[in-house]
Chains A and B, each alone.
Chain A
Amino acid sequence: MDGEKQPQKRERRDKSELNAFENLYENFRNVPLKYLDIFIGLCVAALVLVIALGVMNR
C-alpha cells in the first residue's frame, strides 16, 4: 500500500513549500523529449539566423 498515508503526506508538503522553483522541472514531466529536441533545434537555428542577420546588417 504505497499510498496509504497520503493525507498526512500532503500536510507535510505544506510545511516544506519554500520556494516557487521547487520541482520547477517536474511541471515538464509530460513533455515528450522529441518536442524538446525540436524546440532546442529551432532555438539554435534562430541563433544562427540572428548572428547571420547581424553580420549582414553591419
Chain B
Amino acid sequence: MEKTKSFNVKKFMSDNAIILLVLALAIFTGLTTDNFFTGRNFSNLFINMSPRFIIACGVSGCLITKGTDLSAGRQVGLAACLAAMMLQDITYAARMLPWFPDIPWFAALLIVMVIMGIIGAINGCVIAFLKVPPFIATLGMQTIVYGACQIITNNQPLGGFKKSYSNVALGSLGGFPFLAIFAVIVGVYFLFLYNKTRHGKYMYAIGGNESAAQVAGVNVTATIIRIYLLAGMMYGLAGFLVGAKAGGASTATGFGYELEAIAACTIGGVSANGGVGRVSGILVGVLVFEALKICLQFLGVDPAYTFVAQGLVIIIAVALDLRKYLAKK
C-alpha cells in the first residue's frame, strides 16, 4: 500500500531536516579535513555516544509522559563521584574514603544504580503524588543533587581509579568497546520495555491522554514513579561509565547532559507534546548530536561556537516538531 504513494520530497526534507543538515556537515568535514572517515574516528564517536544514549533512554520516558527531567546531568555527576569514591585504588594516597573496602566494580555499579534509583523514585513521587510540575520538581532535584555532590566530595576532584574500573571504559570485547556493549544492552532493554510490556503501553497512554488512561484503569501514579525510578538508574549507569571513561570525576561532571539528552530525544522524534517516541529515534538523535560535535571539533571550531551551534540545533528540532504537530490538524 505504501509503495503506491509517491515519494514526497518536501515532506521527507522537513521530517529529516536536522539529520540531512548534519549529514551535509559531515560530508563537508570529510572533504575538507583528513582522517575524518576513519574507523578510529567512528569508534570514538560510538564511545562518546554510549553514555549519552543511556541518559537519553532514561529521560525519554519522562518526555513521553509530557514530563521532563532537568536533574539528569547532575545525577550523572553524582553517580560518577559516588563510583569514583568507591573505586579509588587501594594504594592511592589521596583516597577520599580510606576506610572503604576494596569492592569489585560491578558491586559499586549496583550500589550507584540503587542510590540513583532512589533519587529518581523521589522525583517520581513528588510528581505523581504531589502533582508538582515535572519541570519544577526536577529543577529542585537538580540543585539538591548538585549540593549533595559538593558536600560528599568536599568539592575535591577524584582520581586514582583502580585498574579494573578504568578498564570498563577502555577495554573492548572482540573489537567492540565495553561502553558500546553497555549501550546496546540498554537499547535492547528499552526496546523491549517500550514495545512489549504493559509498562511501555501505559507510558504511551499517559503521554497520549492522561485522564483517559486513568479512566481505562492505568495506574498513572505507579507508572510515573517507575519511569522516573528507571531514569535515575540509567543516570547511575551512565555516570559510572562517564567516570570510568574520563578517569576522574568532580562536581562538574555531567554538567549540561540533561539538555543534550532532551535535545537528542527531540531530534529523534520524541515529541515534547507527549505520547510519541521510539528507541530507534533516540539513537538517531544521539548520533546526530554527537556527529555535530565531532564535525565541529574536526573543523577546529572554537567550543564557544560549538555551543551556539548546538543551541540552534535544539531550537530547530523543537520548532520542526511543533510544525509537524500544527500541520497535522
Contacts and interface: CB of A to CB of B under 8 A. Distances in A.
Q: Do chains A and B touch in the complex (CB under 8 A)?
A: yes
Interface in A25-48: 25, 28-29, 31, 33, 36-37, 39-40, 43-44, 46-47
Contacts of A57: 302, 305
A33 B329 CA distance: 12
Contacts of B273: 21, 23-25
Nearest to B323: A36
A36 to B, nearest CB: 5
Nearest to B273: A25
Interface residues of A, number: 31
A43 B315 contact: yes
Contacts of B316: 40, 43-44, 47
A21 B323 contact: no
A14 to B, nearest CB: 11
B300 A58 contact: yes
Contacts of B319: 36, 39-40, 43
B290 interface: no
Give the interface centre of A22, A46, A50 by most chain B CB atoms within 10 Å.
Answer: A50
B325 interface: yes
B151 interface: no
B134 interface: yes
Main secondary structure of the interface of A (DSSP, over half): helix
A53 interface: yes
Contacts of B149: none
A18 interface: yes
B312 A21 contact: no
A54 B316 CA distance: 19
Contact of A12 (B17, B134, B211, B313): B211
Contacts of A17: 131
A13 B139 CA distance: 25
Contacts of A1: none
A29 B325 CA distance: 9
Given A18-B210, A20-B133, A54-B299, A47 B312 contact: yes
Contacts of A25: 272-273, 322, 325-326
B312 A50 contact: yes
A21 B274 contact: yes
A38 to B, nearest CB: 11
Contacts of A36: 319, 322-323, 326
Interface in B106-163: 127, 131, 133-136
A23 B320 CA distance: 16
Would you list the 5 A-B pairs with minimal beta carbon distance, nearest first? A54-B305, A54-B301, A20-B133, A58-B300, A16-B211
11 contacts: A12-B211, A18-B210, A19-B66, A22-B210, A24-B66, A33-B323, A40-B319, A44-B316, A50-B305, A50-B308, A54-B301
Given A43-B312, A54-B309, A58-B302, 4 more contacts: A24-B66, A47-B309, A47-B312, A54-B305
